[in-house]
Amino acid sequence: MKLATFHDPVLGAPRVGLVTEAGLHPFAAVHSMRSLIAGGRAALDRAAADARAAEPLDLAEAELLAPLEPASVRDFVAFEEHVEGVRRSVDGAEGVPDAWYDAPAFYFTNPHAILGPDAEVAFPAACLARDFELEVAVVVGAEGRSVAPAEAGAYVFGYTILNDWSARDLQGREMQVGLGPAKGKDFASTLGPWIVTADELEPYRDEDGFLDLLCTVSVNGTEVGRDRLANIGWTFETMIAYASRDSRVVAGDVLGSGTVGNGGCLAELWGRRGAQEPKPLQPGDVVTLEVEGIGTLTNTVAAAPPAPELPPVRRRDEAARTAAREVPR
């Protein structure tokens, strides 16, 4: 089934709905997406049966929101082609790091900056190299710790589309410190248009167990990139297992696939071509991601007002640093 979150004008609050060919069937107001996920499949089926009995709303008229407020967002980098191209674009390095082949690496991004379909995406005012990232995300359905890869399928609730927006110039500067993208990423991520439960996508698995979905991205109606999700290096089950290793995942966690190759973002193309072609996103540009079996996610690019200036760093000379290390015994 397809599960959406929409703004209910009567309640004046978000509400969950079941998307069918007939329209959008609202769930009882007591349900949130997180409660439906955590409640398990049997409870979801009962709630969905009640929703189907209700008169559907016109989906075209509904104001869709991000399908859920994630407990956390881990974003992986699981496409080799993407790593190669973006690495060349961001820091000028060639090839794929050996460590990439060891395990599905990820970073945590901001769960408080989640946007939904048709929302305006305000990039930092200082950013000039604005970029999209076409991804598929898995939604975790249960709590687990050090989950075995063979058992991780039971932890998959469903899938949605993720746009991991990127301020490439900010990212390139701050990653010289050796931590992560931070302000190059945490201003916005888009999820939507809804969550497709895992059973709906099972027919798309290939012989190796990978989901084989066509993924495309267009800017202002012109296609920029396309790839198949099956070109990914690890299954979502492996990502869940790795995320939970010596740690914990919970119902409502979101794990992004990382950006698909072959133009899944502009930076990959910039790295391969040695120039910013196509040009960076501009305010007013409309970016549309489409993933087979899931749907279409569209947003408009904007620029945020300038942020307050930071005070300068306190620089200390060698004498001051030496004195600070001399702790009295």
Q: Is 317 part of any domain?
A: no
One domain, residues 59 and 95: no
Asked whether residue 139 is assigned to any structural domain, the reply reads yes
Same domain? For 61 and 151 the reply is no
Provide the residue range defining the domain that includes 21: 2-65
Q: Which of 8-22, 173-187, 266-280, 310-324 has the lowest mean pLDDT?
A: 310-324
User: Is residue 80 domain-resident?
Assistant: yes
Residues 77 and 195 in one domain: yes
The total of structural domains in the chain comes to 2
- Closest by CA to 263, choosing from 321, 219, 206, 205, is 219
Tell whether 54 and 92 lie within a shared domain.
no
pLDDT tens digits, one per residue of 167-212? 999 998 998 888 888 999 999 999 999 999 999 999 999 999 999 9
Mean pLDDT for the chain overall: 95
State yes or no: pLDDT of 327 exceeds 70. Answer: no
pLDDT value at residue 290: 98
Q: Say if residue 54 is in the same domain as residue 163.
A: no
Q: Is 169 found in the same domain as 41?
A: no
Quick one: which of 215, 73, 48 has its CA closest to 139?
A: 73
Under 8 Å between Cβ of 123 and 304: yes
In-domain check, residue 328: no
Structural domain includes residue 281: yes
* 329 in a structural domain: no
Mean pLDDT of 233-248: 98
In a domain, 324, yes or no: no
Residues 173 and 296 occupy one common structural domain: yes
Q: pTM (2 decimals)?
A: 0.95
Q: Which of 295, 4, 18, 41 is nearest to 153 (CA)?
A: 41
- How far, in Å, CA of 237 to CA of 156, rounded? 8
Q: Are residues 113 and 261 part of one domain?
A: yes
Does 195 share its domain with 165? yes
Answer yes or no: do 146 and 48 share one domain. no
Residue 316's pLDDT is 84
pLDDT of residue 202: 97
Are 59 and 152 in a shared domain?
no
The CATH number for 174's domain is 3.90.850.10
pLDDT band at 329 (very low <50, low <70, confident <90, very high): low
Choosing from 65, 86, 101, the residue where a domain stops is 65
Residue 328 — very low, low, confident or very high, per pLDDT cuts 50/70/90? low
Q: Are residues 203 and 148 in the same domain?
A: yes
Query: Is residue 40 in a domain?
Result: yes
Tell me what the mean pLDDT of segment 312-319 comes to: 86
- 279: confidence class by pLDDT, cuts 50, 70, 90: very high
For residue 26, pLDDT over 80 is answered with yes
pLDDT of residue 244: 98
The 10s digit of each residue's pLDDT in 42-99 is 999 999 999 999 899 999 999 999 999 999 999 999 999 998 888 777 777 778 999 9
pLDDT for residue 17 is more than 80? yes
What pLDDT score does 321 carry? 73
Domain boundary among 65, 82, 112: 65
